[in-house]
Structure 1
Amino acid sequence: MKKRKIIDLSKAIRENKRDPWFMRVKIKHKKHRQARWLIRLLGLPFRLFPKNFEGWADDYISMGVHSVTHIDAPWHYSPTCGGQRAKTIDEIDLGDCIGPGLVIDMSHKADFDPITEADIRAFLEREHLVLEEGMIVLIRTGADKYNGEPDFHQRGTGMSAEATHFLIDQGIKVMGIDAWGWDTPLPDQIRRAKKGRDRNIFWEAHLVGQEKEYWHMEQLVNLDALPYSGFELAVFPLKIEGASAAPARVVAFLEE
């Protein structure tokens, strides 16, 4: 078996007081000795504890499913997809969660400048890359350098509706980005929608999922550690029944 290098594309789940309230994670660590009292209350005297038994550590976590590196289900975008009930995260086909990866580098794009189909086509042509059905496509914007900062959700670029349609039409069902969201930053969407009185601007890339089924990841990290192609990707969300998304451990495998 060939030895493979592993690149972790998921950020750590941790408490960070600098995160805005809608990304806040709370973790309570329970120390070993606290568990000793639970066992004692269940009837085992301290004198019968194993000699080296300190009790067990335990942890409690509270957060939203979109707070960290995660994958959104079609149910997040709309209750229906193509006229049928949209799928929740536990209904994802795990066969779509493993496949050859491809990075599309859009790190040159200015903040709030949406990624277009023309941008993606130009990159693929310049780098002599071809999209193939079943690939997992990762959009590198460089916004992950702001991850953990209070204005992370206000920085970077994002996908347009036409670019999202283009990827889906090439047979791409799973895709992801290293920015806070798949669209341009939320404050920018609101500003542009109000300025142009155009209701089609808000969440335009997400809402492609009303017509075509696709799954996208947000808040990826370390995409700059990957080549543009030649690696395998695994994306496994937590199996949360009926949920709109789930935290995911996203890992790339490179042959050494």
Structure 2
Amino acid sequence: MQLIDLSTPVDARFWEPEPVRHEPMTPAQGAEHMTGAMREHFGLDLSVDELPDGEFLNNDTFTLTAHTGTHVDAPAHYGSRTEYGGGVPRTIDELPLDWFVRPAFVLDLTAIGSGAATVADLESALDRIGYNPKPYDIALLWTGASARAGTPEYFTKFVGLDGPATEYLLDFGVRVIGTDAFSLDAPFPHIISEYQRTGDRSVLWPAHFTGRRREFCQIERLANLEALPVAHGFQVSCLPVKLTGAGAGWTRAVAMIGDPS
């Protein structure tokens, strides 16, 4: 079985609207930290010099949002109330695991460039690969945006979905839609421009707000979709980190190609 990494790294060197802070602790610093903590909390006295090479264990502290890097958006991200179920959206730790290890298919939207893909765009992409999505398939949108990851352009030039296109995928029974772009919606400048042109509130972040009416998740900031050797007939694992009460969780998304035996 071939494993293909579909994840964007969390990298403090990347340009981000909300910058990542990475504070590494060296093994030598770890020794000072550990011995000091032992004295403070347990009254135990241990000298750094007594440790092998005067070192203990390294550590890393990252400060970032749950939407940095490749992550899964939970229904709670879309709003505080829903039009389905009991009206309370589920957080990332409450979602069924079997949504996130499933057969997947990838749609090539790279020719669009930037803006919002429509139902016609998705129908054309499905026709090209000759595939009819099944319930609980994971839909992956290859827009080409991941090539710009780490730059300001990554946040302003990509392809998202309009409202009907989002509904179109959900009508197949899809519960997880992934994209290699910053957002499943079109870029902010495109959305604001469309709203100012039309005055139609339905163009305001429709892919996200659809989640207030229908329960689904989205994976944002995927990568390496161009490396997939087939457009369907493979599985994806994108299990989110269990952040209690959170509207999103990071994931190491992986495509699994071939027979797992």
Residue 180 of structure 2 corresponds to which residue in structure 1? 178
Residue 250 of structure 1, CA deviation: 0.5
How many equivalent pairs are there? 249
Pair 146,46 (structure 1): closer, same or farther in 2 beyond 3 Å? closer
Q: Deviation of residue 53 (structure 1)?
A: 5.7
Give CA-to-partner distance per residue, 1:178-225, whole Å, 9 cap, x none: 111001101110111112222211101111111100000111000001
- Partners of 2:72 and 2:251 within 8 A in 1: yes
Does 1:142 find its partner at 2:140? no
For 1:196, the equivalent position in structure 2 comes to 198
Q: Partner of 1:32 in structure 2? A: 27
> What secondary structure is seen at the aligned counterpart in 1 of 2:253?
strand
Higher mean C-alpha deviation, range 159-168 or range 36-45: 36-45
Question: CA 1:39–1:124 in structure 2 vs 1: closer, same or farther (change >3 Å)?
Answer: closer
For 1:121 and 1:150, locate their aligned partners in 2 and report how far apart those are by CA, in whole Å.
Answer: 31
Name the structure 2 match of 1:230: 233
Segment drifting more, 208-217 vs 78-87: 78-87
Alpha-carbon distance in 1 for matches of 2:144, 2:48: 55
Structure 2 unaligned regions, length at least 5: 40-44
Normalising to structure 2: TM-score of the pair? 0.91
Q: Tell me, in whole angstroms, the C-alpha distance in 1 between the residues paired with 2:34 and 2:22.
A: 23
Q: Which residue in the other structure is 2:168 paired with?
A: 166
Gapped regions of structure 1 (runs ≥ 5) = none
The alpha carbon displacement at 1:248 in A equals 1.1
Secondary structure of 2:222's aligned partner: coil
Match of 2:16 among 17, 20, 26: 20
Q: Percent identity?
A: 30
For 1:85, what is the secondary structure of its paired residue? coil
Question: Could you say which residue in structure 1 is the equivalent of 2:4?
Answer: 7
1-structure distance, mates of 2:210, 2:250: 22
1:213 aligned residue: 215
Amino acid at match of 1:202: L
Question: Hey, what's the Cα distance between the residues in 2 that align with 1:140 and 1:191?
Answer: 24
Write the deviation string for residues 53-76 of structure 1: whole angstroms up to 9, x where unpaired. Answer: 621100101001112111111111
Corresponding residue of 1:129? 131
Q: 4+ runs of 1 displaced by more than 6 Å?
A: none
The answer to whether 1:54 aligns with 2:55 is yes
Cα deviation per residue 1:118-166 (whole Å; 9 max; x = unaligned)? 2112222232111011211101111111111112110021111111111
Q: State the distance in 2 between where 1:53 and 1:121 align.
A: 63
Supply the RMSD in Å over aligned alpha carbons: 1.5
Matched letter for residue 244 of structure 2: E
Name the stretch that deviates more: 31-40 or 129-138.
31-40
TM-score by length of 1: 0.92
